[in-house]
Chains A and B, each alone.
Chain A
Amino acid sequence: MFTVFIDQFWQLTISGIALGFIYVLIALGYTMVYGVLRMINFANSEIFMWGTFGAIVASRDLFRYNQTTEPATGGKLALVLFIQLFAAMAFAAVVSVIVELAAYRRLRARGTNRLATLISAIGMSMVLSETMRLMTDSRPVGSPRILEKVILTEVWGAQIRLDTLITIVAAGAIFIILERFVKLSRMGKAIRAVSMNEDAAKLMGINLNRVITVTFLVGGLATGAAGFFYVTVYEYTKFNIGFTMGLAAFTAAVVGGIGNIRGAFFGGVFLGLAEVYASAILGTQWKAVTIFIVLVLVLLFKPNGLFGEAVQQTRA
């Protein structure tokens, strides 16, 4: 049971970190929207799924790659990857903004019925995944190989492949860019003001609707980028991949303290590692179960996250 885990520890660690960086970006989507709405965006997992299709549409339909084409090299490689990333982010961001307009905005304008909003959001995520299911005939969609998965180097017996390295470096960079955006830009400051105190932010003349739209947009960009990395590493997607990825990334957001952007980073990496280690020990079929148990335990015992600062909850 533990032999795989011990023999392959470093290899597992590396893929766990790469997976973790994907989670980081999706978790960012959950956490940012949570910050402004104080509500879980159930559709985020499907926004991610649409992002993965964005990446595949770019390589397959724009650059006409297919399963028999040679992987790209050099400048072409960089260009294709960049366009893929761009497409994934754009797809997801557009879907994310549509989700906000269709599922949230009207209900928000009418008042605070949380149950109705949650149901509307879950309905929206059903619409997104079903639309994709019907468009793809319920079949998995393979991604043409763009990137030769060369082994760059070995550290302690663990192979570091090009796609892993790109994922870690690029996802890390995107995370930092978005984190800086929220920290430093005018809009980012408005987003944070709304997260801290919606009423006060409104009094300060912040346009709430705009802030929320931008938040969904930025959350969608992050989540879509995750879709690109997913496709690059796993080279396939399907209409139903959102569920497990979403559950894991949401758990990551909770582990990091939901609403806390840096927390999403630690949570994502934590969860990537936990998932990969647990799969090695228990078998991959128990992956979702492990994630679920982590989620429940964290919600019960550390509802503010393992890393986040305590948030005072107000009751009467």
Chain B
Amino acid sequence: MKNFNLRDFGADIWERSNRPVRVAIVIVVIGLVAMMPYAGAGFLATPIAAYDAVIVYPVAIFVLMSLGLNIVVGKSGMLDLGYVAFFAIGAYTMGFLGIHTSLNTWEIMPIGIGLAMLAGVMLGLPTLRLRGDYLAIVTLGFGEIIRIVALNVSWTNGPNGISGIPMPPDIGPLKFRLDDQKVFFWVVLAMILMTIWMIRRLSVRRPGRAWEAIRQDEDAAELMGVPTLKYKIWSFTLGAAVGGAAGVLYGSKNLFVAPEMFTLNVSILILACVVFGGIGNIWGVIVGGVILGYLPDRIRFISDARLLVFGLVLVVVMNFRPDGLLPRKKREKALVKKGANS
């Protein structure tokens, strides 16, 4: 037990199971998570905002965005400090089209994702050639620029923001209501599951290898025939797509968007979630998003100082446990275990 590691513990259970057991585990876990909105009465209740709202935003949306940012930071090792920009683009797309057209949330969703991806490509094409820290500062600037643009152009309604954004239309018996956010939670959960599916798929195939190679040694990757710029742009753009999707959902849940919601702080919060849980590891990132999304609403002290806490999280985790709670470290298969026992 000396080197207990939750990730390996989970992976062990997973590896020992056969297919039906795995399917059962997945269904049970998803089912349990889907019941979360009903679990708010006791210990989990949040003193400041309503519990069922808190688990949609920040918690679930943070998890979704962290998964998206993790594609960029964790998988391919590029520091994107302007992730909020894509979230803002999604939210504003929802706001603008939601009040100016008759399109509903589900119809706006692909448009929001598309625009976020477009922004990702437009920012990525020139800047992803830059070295890591330059990329970081350029994305940092970009995040703020989007906010400043939203503040100063007329169609976003400047500092007043866009209000009166419509809720999503009901899905059969599932009704979206302001005072009952269960359905929203399930929708975000569905998006999270889709994102996980996407990342897992890509991770074990060519794009995942390309990202991994880029993260570890970009020049060597390029010399082994990996078109690094292309895969970097893909990574950036997929991250943007997830951020855009989160933004559309957020706009449609919040019914109101304004520039002050999209500050640099959001980018940092999401980065903290990624880093805290375990950079590069899906499960770690989810745990990070849940904990850092939830705690500030549970513990009053943290809610005032949440950014301070998150900043500290970044410094402390990087310095003392750079792999976060659940490290990415891949396990070596059988051969090593034998070796380790001897």
Contacts and interface: CB of A to CB of B under 8 A. Distances in A.
Direct contact, A vs B (beta carbon within 8 Å) = yes
B319 to A, nearest CB: 5
A289 B219 contact: no
B117 interface: no
B130 A299 contact: yes
Contact of B315 (A103, A296, A315): A103
Contacts of B199: none
B219 A247 contact: no
Contact of A123 (B132, B304, B318): B318
A126 B307 contact: yes
Nearest to B304: A134
A126 B308 contact: yes
Contact of B151 (A106, A113, A285): A285
What's the dominant secondary structure at chain B's contact region?
helix
A316 B219 contact: yes
A126 B268 CA distance: 8
B123 to A, nearest CB: 9
Interface residues of A, number: 41
B21 interface: no
A247 B141 contact: yes
Contact of A120 (B304, B310, B319): B319
B141 A130 contact: no
Contacts, number: 123
A291 B312 CA distance: 29
A115 B79 contact: yes
A127 B145 CA distance: 22
Interface in B278-313: 304-305, 307-308, 310-313
A126 B275 contact: no
A227 to B, nearest CB: 20
Contacts of B308: 126-127, 130-131, 134
Contacts of B320: 106
A124 interface: yes
Contacts of B220: 316
A39 B135 CA distance: 12
A114 interface: yes
Nearest to A130: B308
25 contacts: A103-B319, A107-B318, A113-B322, A116-B318, A119-B271, A119-B318, A120-B318, A120-B319, A122-B136, A122-B271, A123-B272, A124-B315, A126-B314, A130-B307, A243-B144, A247-B137, A247-B140, A247-B141, A288-B144, A292-B142, A296-B127, A299-B127, A300-B126, A300-B130, A303-B130
Q: Which 6 A-B pairs have the closest CB atoms?
A: A123-B314, A126-B311, A130-B308, A120-B318, A127-B311, A123-B315
Interface of A: 39-40, 42, 102-103, 106-107, 113-120, 122-127, 130-131, 133-134, 243, 247, 250, 285-286, 288-289, 291-292, 295-296, 299-300, 303, 315-316
Interface of B: 73, 77, 79, 81, 126-127, 129-130, 132-134, 136-138, 140-142, 144-145, 148-149, 151-152, 219-220, 223, 264-265, 268, 271-272, 275, 304-305, 307-308, 310-315, 318-320, 322
